Structures are given as structure tokens and as C-alpha cells.
Amino acid sequence: MNKNTPFKDKDVLIKDIEAFLQKHSTLFRVQGTRISHFFEMNCYNYVVKYYQNHGFDVLPVNLDGKVFKYKISAAGDPKNFSHFLVSKTIGAQKYEFEIHHNLALECAHESEIFYTADISVIKKTSIERTQPSTYSMKRSFCRAKDLQTFFEVKHLAPFPELLFSFSGIPDSFLVISGRIKNPKHLAPSLLMSGRPNFHAEKIKKYLQKRHSINIIFNLFGTPSAVYSNKYSKRTIGTTF
Amino acid sequence: MIDLFTRHLPSQVSIDIRRQYESLLPIFNSYIDSENERYFELKNDRDLDHFILALALFYSSVIIPLREAGNCLKDLRSHHQKIQSIRLSKFEFSSDSANVIHEMSVEMSALLSQYRISEHLLLFSDIKNFARNLNQYLKSPDYE
């Protein structure tokens, strides 16, 4: 029996990988352009999984025939896109929330100023469509009182400016006081595909200690970090 | 080494992977050059080390997001069997697209398993752990 390592045949490995890449080159070239959208879509799916793992019934609604339509930009009326309805009964009370993609949220402290979160969880049927006086057209949005939590998705490597700027957003858009303890939602979270360096890890620890937020890195490596209980995360209660 | 993996990719993805590779390479080389026995096996073949690093970046930046997109459609269908595809702007991600990705992903897994390269090695969060795990992997014997 010869002692060997798989890499006595390094050239064979490289040749095999090269053949694999060549064989699937069209797939990589075509679908590769959508990786950023896929990442957003995957993160949305992870948020739905979080609710499913925490005892909620989850249901895709507003389908276009047999198609689930993701809203991948801030433009467009949410009623023309699909979303998830998640519901849970605690005691005699049934709680129902909607999970939306790219929905405008109104500031908690100043009317008619908005921010579009990549993913937001809101009270069922709380989207309003009006024409704010400062806008030339109608827009759909959710008021802060109905917003449960939100997520920012970045297909990027973490850098300090981004981490610090995210930490300020919840203060302007989320109502914290008066929330009931259950059901629980993930606290506002920044979901990133990139790997952190030592500095980014240190900033994350500091910001999570200082604010009620989650910063989750390297999601391609550990997608379950969003929805699995194995990874500890901050949560917030429900506005009611 | 990274060229092999980026030549078939759209420019933005290719740039992103190259940036990752170029920023990690100096740190990775410092582990290879160190006298610490935890990295001793890395000294045998620097080209191979670099190749596995490039493979890891390609795997986490291309294979995983594509595979997860396929899983996303599967998950949606588990909630509602009627759903046949996902629309992202003008692009429709159908079962056919998901099947093509699935076949590619299965083939990649078979290739990795043939060379006993674990997903754990490729999906590193820290380059130091990658260097240690690669060293451990290169040390592990394979009997023929």
C-alpha cells in the first residue's frame, strides 16, 4: 500500500477543475450576472426561514399565476409583487406579518421622509399608498408604528463606513417603546456576503454591544447564521 | 492561479473575486513563509496552496450563491406547490434553470469529494483558519 496524498497528482486536479469550468462556462457567464440579485433573494428566503423555524406558518401570497415576483428595486408598487405572510397564534391572539422586499419605510420622527429597506417585516395590510405633499407622484410605504424589523443586504466585503452608517438607521425608522415581548423578531440586521477582517469583526462586536442590531458576515459561508438558533442574535418584540 | 477561475465570469464578479484573492494573498503567503509548524505542509507546493485558495474563493462567490438560488426555488415550492418560477425584474428563474444549476453543483461536489476537499475547508471566514485547515488537509494521508 503506497502512502500518497491526493495532490501527488496536482496537475490532474487542475485539469479536472479546468474541464469543469469550461463545461459550465455558459452557466457561469449568464447566471453570474445575477449573483447580486440571487444574494438578495437568498437573504429574503433566510428571513422567511427564520419565521418558519420559530413556529410561524408561512405562505407566499400575491403570486402572478405560478410565478413568485421579487421586487428587486425601490421602484414599483408593492401590490404588483409577491410577498410572504407569516402568522402565529399565541394564546387567543393571532399575529400576522408580511415580509416585503424593497419597501419604503417612513421615518419614525418626521413624516414624509422615507428609506427603502431591502427586506422589511410589517404588520399585515399596513402598506399605505398616498401622494405625500413633497412628491409629484403616489408612493407606497409603511409607517414606523407598523414596522416590526428590517434588513439591509449587501453583497460586499465589510468596511467601516458601511457598518457605522447601518447602525444609525434603526434609530430613525423603528419604534422601540411599547413593544410587546412576543412574538419576537430579529433585531434590524445587516446581512453581508463578504468576509470580515479583524477590524470589521471588532467594529461589529462594538456596534452590536452599543445598539440593538445584528451584523452578519460571510453569508455565503454560513447562510444559516440568519435563521438558525445555533448562532446567537439580538431580537426585538412586536409593535401592537 | 486566479485567472483560471475568473476567465468565464462576468466582469463584476471576476473583479470581485480578484480583489478578494489579491487582498488575501499577502497574508496567506506570510503563513506559508512562517516557521510555525501549523503551516509546515504549505511549504511543499506554493502553487497548489494558491490554487486551493482561488478554488475556495470561486466556490464561495459563485457556486454557493447559484446553489442557494436553486434551493430558494425549492423552498418556495415547498410552501406552495403551484409556484413554478421566480421573477427577478425581467428574468425568470425557472425549474429548468434550477436543474442546470443543480447538475453543475452535483458535479462540483463529486469533484471535490474525489480529491477529498471538504466544503468546510473552502468556506472559510478567516484566512488564518483556511491556512491551518489546508495544512491539516495536506498532512492527512491517502492510501491507494
Residues A92-130 have pLDDT tens digits of 999 999 999 999 999 999 998 999 999 999 999 999 998
pLDDT band at B141 (very low <50, low <70, confident <90, very high): low
With an 8 Å Cβ cutoff, is B65 touching chain A? Answer: yes
Alpha-carbon distance of A154 to A162, in angstroms, equals: 9
> Between 3.30.2320, 3.90.950, 3.40.91, 3.30.360, what CATH number should domain A35-238 receive?
3.40.91
Calpha distance B139→A165 (Å, rounded): 44
CA triplet B37, B40, B46: central angle to 5 degrees? 155
The answer, for B100 touching chain A at a CB cutoff of 8 Å, is yes
Output the 3-class SS for B11-68: HHHHHHHHHHHHHHHHHHHHHHHCCCHHHHHHHHCHHHHHHHHHHHHHHHHHHHHHHH
| Neighbouring-strand partners of residue A87 | A57, A96
Q: Are the C-beta atoms of B9 and A29 separated by less than 8 Å?
A: yes
The answer, yes or no, to whether residue A220 has pLDDT greater than 60, is yes
At B142 the pLDDT is 60
Distance (Å, whole) CA A42 – CA A25: 23
Q: Do A5 and B141 touch (CB under 8 A)?
A: yes
Judged against a pLDDT cut of 50, whether residue A142 lies above it is answered with yes
Does the pLDDT of residue A2 top 50, yes or no? no
Chain B residues with CB under 8 Å of A2 CB are 143-144
Rg (CA), chain A: 21
* pLDDT at B144 > cutoff 50: no
Q: Which of B14, B135, B144 should we substitute to test contact with A (largest number of A Cβ atoms within 10 Å)?
A: B144
Write the CB contacts of A80 (distance below 8 Å, at least 6 apart in sequence): A69
Interface test mutation site (partner B, options A220, A224, A226, A227, max chain B beta carbons within 10 A) = A220
Q: What is the pLDDT of residue A135?
A: 72
Grid cell digits, residue B68: 442557494
Mean pLDDT of B127-135: 95
Q: What is the pLDDT of residue B81?
A: 85
Mean pLDDT of chain A: 93
Q: What is the pLDDT of residues A63-73, one digit of tens each?
A: 999 999 999 99
Count how many Cα atoms sit within 13 Å of the Cα of residue A182 in the half-sphere of its side chain: 9
- For B61, the closest of A41, A196, A220 (CB atoms) is A220
The pLDDT of residue A240: 77
Taking the alpha carbons at both ends of chain A, their separation in whole angstroms is 70
**pLDDT value of residue A144:** 96
Locate the domains of chain A by residue range.
35-238
Q: What is the C-alpha end-to-end distance of chain B, expressed in Å?
A: 28
Predicted pLDDT at A1: 36
C-alpha cell at B131: 491556512
pLDDT higher than 60, residue A195: yes
pLDDT of residue A6: 54
Torsion angles phi and psi, residue A70, rounded to 5: -80, 145
Give the Cα separation of B132 and B130 in Å (integer): 5
| Residue-averaged pLDDT of chain B | 92
Tell me whether residues B48 and A7 touch, CB distance under 8 A: yes
More confident residue, A62 or A134: A62
Q: Given pLDDT bands bounded at 50, 70 and 90, which one contains residue B143?
A: very low
- Of A94, A87, A82, A90, nearest to A45 (Cα)? A82
The rounded distance, in Å, linking the Cα atoms of B74 and B79 is 9
Q: What is the pLDDT of residues B13-71, one digit of tens each?
A: 999 999 999 999 999 999 999 999 999 999 999 999 999 999 999 999 999 999 999 99
Separation between Cα atoms, residue B36 and residue B128, nearest integer Å: 12
Q: Side chain identity at A157, as an amino acid letter?
A: A
Q: Where are the alpha helices (DSSP H) in chain A?
A: 10-23, 25-32, 35-53, 160-173, 198-210
